[in-house]
Structure 1
Amino acid sequence: MSVWNEVVGQPEAVAALQGAVRDPAEMTHAWLFTGPPGSGRSVAAGAFAAALQCERGGCGRCHACTTALAGTHADVQVVTTEKLGIDIDVVRGLVQSAQRRPASGRWRVLLVEDADRMSERGANVLLKAVEEPPARTVWLLCAPSPEDLVATIRSRCRAVRLRVPAVEAVAQLLVRRDGVDPAMAAHAARAAQSHIGLARRLARDEGARIRRREVLRIALEVRGVGDAVLRAADLVDVAAEEATAATAERDAAERAALLRSLGAEGAATLPPAVRAQVGQLEKDQKARATRSRRDVLDRALVDLASLYRDVLVVQLGADVELVNAEARRDVERLAADTTPERTLRRLDAVRQARERIGANVNPLLAVEAMALELRP
């Protein structure tokens, strides 16, 4: 048992982090964990936070390890956001927390997931704290790439670069940790392209596997303008429904808990002060729903791109495994019906759709433009 057991396929990164835990000369006050989605940035940072608090360097069994990993350690503060960005007020709160000495642990650890979602103003506030931290404070920032943070912050951090783990390593984790059947684990790990969280979901959720197959069928069903418009609308609607299903129960529970805490549960009319707090909650929930819809849609587009990637592999005769091996017949059919140049243009259309959605373009318009490029 060790805090590092969940950090899959990252031996170099784990070795560097373990060295810093053991040797004060290797330790620094700010770390930047980077890697593609699904590489385990937050998992690695969380394991490092636990190891820093552990007297045995991350045994995984002591009180320090278990509370740090569970998010209940008094000196480990984890910040994540379900909105489109991290509010500047959240960053200011972190900076204030950084000035306090550890209450009971060896370090005060501030772990910021999605640090790339900080606004420029938030990054400027954080910069001062990263430049001049107290002696026993350590910052752990997570982002897809170093370029996603302003240069002044990343230049003050020690980089920990993670890579996409091997499909076999992710499959083994699913078998060992979640008790997934080995064949299903291998299928899920390959379909998720080694994204650990998504692989777990695909392995355990039949609905998720069905929705993924429906996304892949877009490549076969878009034959004309009408098909493109209809399939684009279906894709956006499915993303919205999935996001709503994932958040509706939680939204209702949060509202009920807020009203109960304010003594207004069951009230026919809410006092002005209560209405203001409920309004703020609804605003936060709306922002969370927006991000959830975008994330679901982006994942669907990644799945679609994986199919065209397989088509290109077949067209070029490359000796690599298909991501969608179970759909080989469809892949070979598409490969025979078009050229590698056309496949590349389709891949580029999917990429542009993802970029446009990330830049706040209306999702339906972005997906419709993409679908039109998928026609024969």
Structure 2
Amino acid sequence: MQATDTATPPGTEAPLPWGSVWGQDAAVDVLRDAASDPSAMTHAWLITGPPGSGRSTLAYAFAAALIADPADEAAEQVMRQVLAGTHPDLTALRTEGVIISIKDARALVERSYFAPSLGRYRVIVVEDADRMVERTSNVLLKALEEPPERTVWVLCAPSEADLLPTIRSRVRALRLREPDVDDVAALIARRTGVDHAVAEQSARHAQRHIGMAQRLATDAEARRRRDQTLRAVLGVRGIGDVVEVAGEIVQAATEDAKALTAERDQAERASLLRTVGVAEGAAVPPAVRAQLNALEDEQKRRATRSLRDGIDRVLTDLQSLFRDVVLLQHGRADGLINRELEPDLRALAAAWSPARTLSVLDRIAETRRNLEQNVAPALALESMLITVSSGRTP
């Protein structure tokens, strides 16, 4: 594993399993010590940080350090297995739906009581632990409170506040640092080879979310859609604009979601048919249809999650837009996220009061919460944009 994302000089070998963790030296030190020193170890951890900060990457690196025995000659191979997600002592829940189901939580709890089969520990990694509703969280409580001696839970979430107090009281929390825009830009330029100006703009627009910055930097169409959406919202004046722009946002998010999931869906379908011996283009036997229907149902749930995530990214961009307006209203031009729109933002800052801008920011935050509760995206966006338009002059 090459150390392209760490402070290790290029061309040198990064230390396993931490080589893919970028910009989180303090957190790595804590987890490395815990993995090597039983007195520093605890049975349940919560890794928090904003989207794109590397929560999951760090969780799997920690799992690899826990499961592999450093005294074993095969330690490096074991670590690579864990990082690839194929080691039998690693159980990971990657959320494909809008929420984590009780069924999935119960399966995790059952798995947590198995003794390690090959490694030093059994590790349960829960990505997006904030997507558990209260009754699902309650399923985990006893397992977190009294786990077997050699089982370790690693939960990932944006913040401690995203989990119930009963969960937070049973874990050791580790907060990740937020990287600077310049640091993310340098990383993206190094990873992708794009021009530094594009990397800087992408890092700024992504608000330091590494994965999103990389996508913006390498996808001109994604950059165009973002710019078009923000300009459309700035141009909203009345109900007609509200309905049109809300529809455009949902349509763009739908197309984006399809682009992200279509290739994977097709590959999964082909793999399933190949596994059960159905030739490409052949009719699907009745005995296989149930399996195919189950796969398609799972893919539909994933598509719903992808669509809502896409709309949430748009709302995050809109929050950055009106945050910039607040800065300008208070005489601050440094630190603008959307510098390319500064003339429009200055005009809006002059036309609105700071209280008006803050009310719009509150409405966007409320819309994000409503979408988490499965409110129809188009209706939620229309309601939000009415708030935006009511502060504009025709």
Could you state the TM-score of these two structures normalised by the residue count of structure 2? 0.87
1:159 aligns with 2:205: no
Equivalent residue number for residue 85 of structure 1: 99
Name the CA shift for 1:73/1:181 in 2 (closer, same or farther; >3 Å).
farther
RMSD: 2.3
Q: How far off its partner does 1:192 sit? A: 0.6
What does 1:305-316 align with in structure 2 at a 5 Å threshold? 305-316=319-330
Q: CA separation in 2, counterparts of 1:47 and 1:169? A: 22
8 Å CA contact 1:215–1:303 kept in 2: the answer is no
Equivalent residue number for residue 147 of structure 2: 133
Name the CA shift for 1:327/1:5 in 2 (closer, same or farther; >3 Å).
farther
Q: CA separation in 1, counterparts of 2:137 and 2:325? A: 42
8 Å CA contact 1:79–1:113 kept in 2: the answer is yes
1:247 aligns with 2:276: no
8 Å CA contact 2:124–2:154 kept in 1: the answer is yes
Pick one of 215, 221, 233 that aligns with 1:207.
221
Amino acid at match of 1:108: R
1:147 aligns with 2:161: yes
Name the CA shift for 1:343/1:12 in 2 (closer, same or farther; >3 Å).
same
Q: How far off its partner does 1:119 sit? A: 4.2
Pick one of 219, 222, 226 that aligns with 2:240.
226
Equivalent residue number for residue 274 of structure 1: 288
Name the CA shift for 1:184/1:35 in 2 (closer, same or farther; >3 Å).
same
Q: CA separation in 1, counterparts of 2:232 and 2:361? A: 13
8 Å CA contact 2:367–2:384 kept in 1: the answer is yes
Q: CA separation in 2, counterparts of 1:321 and 1:100? A: 50
Amino acid at match of 1:337: A
Higher mean C-alpha deviation, range 224-233 or range 68-77: 68-77
Name the CA shift for 1:48/1:177 in 2 (closer, same or farther; >3 Å).
farther
Q: How far off its partner does 1:304 sit? A: 1.4
Equivalent residue number for residue 361 of structure 1: 375
Q: CA separation in 1, counterparts of 2:324 and 2:308? A: 25
Q: CA separation in 2, counterparts of 1:187 and 1:217? A: 17
Structure with more contact order per residue of length (Cα contacts < 8 Å, sep ≥ 6): 1
8 Å CA contact 1:9–1:166 kept in 2: the answer is no
Amino acid at match of 2:168: R
Q: CA separation in 2, counterparts of 1:96 and 1:365? A: 40
Name the CA shift for 1:127/1:327 in 2 (closer, same or farther; >3 Å).
same
1:182 aligns with 2:178: no
Name the CA shift for 1:120/1:342 in 2 (closer, same or farther; >3 Å).
closer
Pick one of 308, 311, 333 that aligns with 1:297.
311
What does 1:330-341 align with in structure 2 at a 5 Å threshold? 330-341=344-355
Q: How far off its partner does 1:121 sit? A: 4.2
Q: CA separation in 1, counterparts of 2:32 and 2:360? A: 44
Equivalent residue number for residue 122 of structure 2: 108
Name the CA shift for 1:169/1:4 in 2 (closer, same or farther; >3 Å).
farther
8 Å CA contact 1:8–1:170 kept in 2: the answer is no
Deviations 1:250-297 (A, max 9, x none): 2233223323333445454641x4332222222111111111100001
Q: Secondary structure at the match of 1:102?
A: coil
1:325 aligns with 2:339: yes
Q: CA separation in 1, counterparts of 2:293 and 2:133? A: 23
Higher mean C-alpha deviation, range 102-111 or range 224-233: 102-111
8 Å CA contact 2:53–2:177 kept in 1: the answer is yes
What does 1:9-20 align with in structure 2 at a 5 Å threshold? 9-20=23-34
8 Å CA contact 1:216–1:307 kept in 2: the answer is yes
Equivalent residue number for residue 62 of structure 1: 76
8 Å CA contact 1:228–1:372 kept in 2: the answer is yes
Q: CA separation in 1, counterparts of 2:38 and 2:187? A: 31
Deviations 1:287-324 (A, max 9, x none): 11111100001101111121111111111112631111
Q: How far off its partner does 1:235 sit? A: 0.8
Could you state the TM-score of these two structures normalised by the residue count of structure 1? 0.91
What 5-or-longer segments of structure 2 have no aligned partner?
1-13
Name the CA shift for 1:4/1:262 in 2 (closer, same or farther; >3 Å).
closer
Higher mean C-alpha deviation, range 81-90 or range 91-100: 91-100
Pick one of 198, 214, 217 that aligns with 2:231.
217
